[in-house]
Structure 1
Amino acid sequence: MTVLLLRLAGPLQAWGVKSRFTIRATELAPTKSGIIGMLAAAVGRRRTDPIEDFLSLRFGVRKDQPGTVIRDFHTARPLDGGDSMPLSNRYYLADAIFLAGIEGDGALLEGIDEALGHPVFPLYLGRRSCPPTPPISLGLREAPLLDALRKERWQASEWFQQRFRRRRTPFDAELLVDQEAVPAVERGTVRSSRDVPISFDPRRRDYGLRQVERLLVTVEAPAVDLHDPMIDVEEAGRCS
């Protein structure tokens, strides 16, 4: 099968499946509905358009840089001086980087890959306030989804990789993959997620369940011979 690999990085990301009323939560990794929505936007699908061909795609994600959950206490007041809008708490992932893979029909994925370079509608990482850092597409791979996610180069930021390089220890990245893409002999820790987008139509949004396998894969930072003093400065700034 053909796999399209995506690098999902940006200052903020927000992948919600349980947001209600004044609390806008985020999952700790991209959701299948969020990624399919982004790909549909790239090729020009509107919310009311059918997405049956996208539902056949298998999905997996590797947490290359888990990031940190932050909270935004949000309020707004109308310009006419009327009553303020309800207070809300909106949660985001900061400094996170993920490797996502989509497996399916080669012709469909080729079209999506091309569209990601020139998207019809704006792309965002879960919410409109979360633009992605380009490029998103890492290209197509002719391999099973699980193999492609395991073998791809570590996508974490240099400062994050440097932490493990200094310790001379690898990083165990968490993999979350559609169960049907995982061989039976490797299946173990499974959970259900209601993030399969049956319809994005605002009048009748509908999401289905999928079974997600959790695995770990060890990734290593490429060796670097020269010491970069700016890494120390950047890391000290993040800890202050």
Structure 2
Amino acid sequence: MAVLALRLAGPMQSWGDASRFTQRLTRSEPTKSGVLGLLAAADGRRRQDPIEDLAGLRFGVRVDQPGRLVRDFQTAIRWQDPKRPSMPLSYRYYLADAVFVAAVEGDRALLEGLDAALRHPVFPLYLGRRACPVTGRLNLGLHEGDVEQVLRRLDWQAAAWHRRRQGQVVDLPLHIDAPATLVEPEMVREVVRDVPLSYSPERREYGWRDVVQAAPHHVTNPDGRAGFDFMAALGGV
């Protein structure tokens, strides 16, 4: 199997999977539906087009720079009937200054087409919502192996300022589609409803998937802060 990897970075990202009414939430990591939507846009697919081939890809994400949660609010009025009261206040949540590495695994021919589409996208690409454009390098290319192997192999993508604030060894969380075989007991497992079945505005549909938190990926950080040696400060050995 081949794996296509992406670097997801921008001033703002928002990856909702259960937003309702006036609350528009975001997960702390990219959703499968959001990333596949980005790939579909690059490929020139419209919302009514079939996406079964994309939904069948195995998905994983590595948290290279978690960012911080921010909240915005929006109001709206009915311009067609200004005498009517304004719409309810809605709250929108975003991740600021986050960086992720996402990967999809599947048929090489399909991924080669998506790789080419990312280099010359048909529609604008964004990170979960239209107000969240992609910045910097997006396409990390095609790789051999499975999702977990590739996510552990790729370089750390965090910004220099973030690296300086970390220690000299950093753990990067991994969230991966559960394999078909039995999951190791120590893995944290979660059921998430973010597999796109249809992006149609008339009837958006999503299915469920099992996600596991694999052992974090350890990276050395020569730019990080050295830990405080308490015994050395006391003159101990």
* Deviation, structure 1 residue 184: 4.2
CA contact (8 A) 1:171 1:218 kept: yes
- State whether residues 182 and 213 of structure 1, in contact with CA within 8 Å, keep that contact through their aligned partners in structure 2: no
Q: Deviations over 1:174-204 (max 9, x none)?
A: 1000001788458621010000011111222
**Alpha-carbon distance in structure 2 between the residues aligned to 1:181 and 1:160:** 36
Distance 1:185 1:78 in 2: 53
1:116 counterpart residue number: 118
Change (3 A) 1:150 1:186: farther
- Runs of at least 5 residues in structure 1 that lack an aligned partner in the other structure: 225-240
Alignment of 1:185-204 (within 5 A): 185=184, 188-204=187-203
Contact 1:154-1:220 within 8 A present in 2 as well: no
- 1:73-112 mapped onto 2 (5 Å cutoff): 73-77=73-77, 81-82=82-83, 83-112=85-114
Question: Which structure carries more helix by proportion?
Answer: 1
Q: 1:202 to 1:115 in 2, by over 3 A?
A: same
Partner of 1:160: 162
Q: Distance in 2 between matches of 1:184 and 1:196?
A: 20
**CA 28–182 in structure 1, closer or farther in 2 if over 3 Å, else same:** farther
Amino acid corresponding to residue 91 of structure 1 in structure 2:
Y
1:205 aligns with 2:204: yes
Which of these residues, 131, 150, 153, is aligned with residue 152 of structure 2? 150
**Offset of residue 77 of structure 1:** 3.9
Match runs of 1:43-82 below 5 Å: 43-77=43-77, 81-82=82-83
Which string of whole-angstrom CA distances, capped at 9 and with x for unpartnered residues, describes residues 69-96 of structure 1? 0000211345675432321110000010
Identity %: 54
Normalization by structure 1: what TM-score?
A: 0.86
Asked if the contact 1:6–1:101 (Cα under 8 Å) also holds between the matched residues in 2, the reply is yes
Query: 1:161 aligns to what SS in structure 2?
Result: helix
Report the number of matched residues. Answer: 220
Q: Which runs of 5+ in 2 are unaligned?
A: 224-237
Q: Aligned to 1:100, what secondary structure does the other structure show?
A: strand
Query: SS of the residue aligned with 1:180?
Result: coil
Determine the structure 2 residue equivalent to 1:234: none
Separation (CA, whole Å) in 2 of partners of 1:172 and 1:149: 13
Q: Is the 8 A contact 1:26 1:91 kept in 2?
A: yes
SS in 1 for 2:54: helix
CA distance in 2, matches of 1:90, 1:195: 19
CA distance in 1, matches of 2:64, 2:11: 15
User: Whole-Å Cα distance in 2 between the matches of residues 106 and 136 of structure 1?
Assistant: 19
Aligned CA RMSD, in angstroms, stands at: 1.8
> What are the Cα deviations for residues 105-159 of structure 1, in whole angstroms up to 9, with x where unaligned?
1111111111112111111100000001132101111111111001110000110
Distance 2:26 2:127 in 1: 11
Greater Cα shift, 197-206 or 144-153: 197-206
Task: Report what 1:217 is aligned to.
Answer: 217
- 1:4-63, CA deviations, whole angstroms, 9 ceiling, x for partnerless residues? 110000000000011111110001000000011110010011110011111221000000
Could you tell me whether the CA contact under 8 Å between 1:146 and 1:182 is conserved in 2? no
| Secondary structure of residue in 2 paired with 1:47 | coil
Q: Distance in 2 between matches of 1:99 and 1:46?
A: 25
- Determine which structure has more spread, i.e. the larger CA radius of gyration: 2
Q: Name the CA distance, whole Å, in 2 between partners of 1:181 and 1:171.
A: 30
State the partner residue of 2:171. Answer: 172
Q: 1:205 to 1:187 in 2, by over 3 A?
A: farther
SS in 2 for 1:156: coil
Question: Does the residue aligned with 1:171 lie in a helix, a strand or coil?
Answer: strand
Q: Which moved more, 1:205-214 or 1:81-90?
A: 81-90
